[in-house]
Structure 1
Amino acid sequence: MATPGKTSYAIAMSIMTTEDDEMGSGLLSTQERAIIRTTWNKARKDGDVAPKLLFKFLKAYPEYQKKFSKFADVPQSNLLSNGNFLAQAYTILAGLNVIVQSLSSQELMANQLNALGGAHQPRGVTTTILELKEFGVILIQVLEEEIGSAMTIDARQAWKNGIHELIGGLSQTLKNPEDLPDPQTRLTPQQIKEVQRTWASMRSDRNSIVSAIFIELFRENPRSQKYFAKFASLPLESLTSNTDFNQQVALVANRLDTIISAMGDKLQLLGNINYMRYSHEQRIYSPRNAVRDRFEDFGRLLLDTLIAKGIAGDDLDSWKSVLKIFIDGIAPEQ
């Protein structure tokens, strides 16, 4: 049960609750929040601060005017007398006012970030964060112009910290479409793209890759070779010249290629995984988890091969995620 003033929310914010504010905890101190509120209340007394803020922002970054369809083509010299521009300016002012007044309430701040994130979702994470950073620079400049000496060094730093926290919180509410996993396959479009792209550079060599993995697998665990009756007793050094072994290698390599190639087609991907699961469930393994162990070993050795071929960073992380999902689908843990 949640303790009053300590409720947890989906968005983990470092801006604390009212109770926390009184205790002075969090990345924004009690003093910083008080400074932000005081300076903001002084600045917003000027009825022209809203259009001044938006006008200064668009003048510094004119490319952003195109994002406001209702006054995208209005000459800058006419903006301050344009009704749509003024409406947008005062909408921004109202939003800023709510955010400042919500600094001591995690719930209110989370709601504001969700609303702000939803409004900017079509622009994506990178664009929105860049806009906020640049808007923050202009906001501080306007505050300095409006309240003069009241915008002290401490006040300037408090606003910088506040904007930093706002951007950090907002970034948690935004996701690029390519970062969103499919609810059934649990794969993201980005993971699929990275795995397919890197596999394309290796697929012509897939038989030799799988052959090397099998031989290493049998070397590590000789028992696993016994599951292949047609070459169960052959010495490792004879395998690559054995027809049955090479046929098995080609079968596995082509199956892997088929699964990877079909990753963009959810129904086909799920069908391939289900087929692999069914075909291995019909075999008798001892112990019961042997099939998963073998797939995990195969996946580990495949990752070693990828690393040896220079696959790294996000590409390698995508392979790790994809292989885990494949293995979980084909051989679920008992």
Structure 2
Amino acid sequence: MSELSQRQKDLILQGWDVLAADMRATGTALFTEIFTRYPAYQKKFRVMKDMPLEEAVKSTRMKGHAVIFMRALQNVILNMDEPDVMADVLETIARRHAELGFRKVDFEACFSRQHTEPLPECLGAPWVVPTLCGGAPSSSFSPLNQTFTMADATGLTGGQKGLLKESTDIMSKDLAAVGIALFGEVFNRYPQYQKKFRKIADMPVDDAMKTVRMKSHATLVIGALRTIVGSVNDPDLTMDMLETLGVRHKLMGWLTKADFDNVFGVLLDILKDHEATKSTSDPAGTLEAWKALLNTIGSEVAKQL
């Protein structure tokens, strides 16, 4: 893996702040251009393979994939100072795409210079990316005008969505640490789950938690939760993400809803005394919001298992 200079890392982070202002719009703009230049890639998406391009890029599936893609890219970027973790995250992404039949040449086509030419301009002009993507960045979420709404398909009220955003903003300071705390306790309570991780199957739990593989997995899991929370103002998008999550876990061949319930039970126990709950504007309400969201995730994922 090529080593990045500190200057390069700083420029990437500076550019990412712009690109991440509206992840859905940025990701959708990218895939619109990819599908325009390489129509064969649209055929890989079963739900929208035969749609006109204009309809495909407006579909819930495309919005969901655009956000998932951008979050995955964010996980790579935020681990630039931990090359081993970044490499493991990339290995996981590579394995998933290899199973779908993608090869190096496909990534090279999607990441070609033509698709990324606007980036240098964006580094000095934060308004360029939103303009290219079809609109201004989304305004920051305010729970104040959402508090009294009824729960929707996500199982959350507007106020709960705001509390979850507060919580995940705190978690984002160190995603890996939250995930390590979660899986350390999961493996202590349910040793059989550690056996599913080949590289750490026979390690003492404390040693397993220090491995690159576990840091990578912890980051991906908590990052996925953050992505789901980031989607809850668009319930259709959230439901599509959860369906995708369920399909991915079905491929593992052994997970059941009971397994998700076990892990989520541990997570709730951790959150009771965690900064990501206690430092929000309403700790008790935040914990209830997590209970509601995790219940929805478990129920929706179970439909695919």
Superposition TM-score, scaled by structure 2 size? 0.46
- Larger relative CO (CA 8 A, sep 6+): 1 or 2? 2
| Higher Cα radius of gyration | 1
Superposition TM-score, scaled by structure 1 size? 0.42
